[in-house]
Homo-oligomer: A and B are copies of this chain.
Amino acid sequence: MIFVSIRNDADDIGYGEAAAAMDALAAMQPGYRGVDSAREAGGMGITVSYWADDSAAIAWRHHPEHTAIREHGRARWYDSYSVIVARVERGYDWVRA
Chain A residues in contact with chain B, CB under 8 A?
2, 4, 8, 36-41, 44-46, 48, 54, 74, 78-96
Contacts and interface: CB of A to CB of B under 8 A. Distances in A.
What is the count of identical protomers in the complex?
2
A39 to B, nearest CB: 6
Contacts of A88: 84-86
Contacts of A2: 2, 36, 48
Contacts of A84: 48, 88, 90-91
A97 to B, nearest CB: 10
Contact of A94 (B38, B48, B74, B91): B74
B82 A91 contact: yes
A92 B82 contact: yes
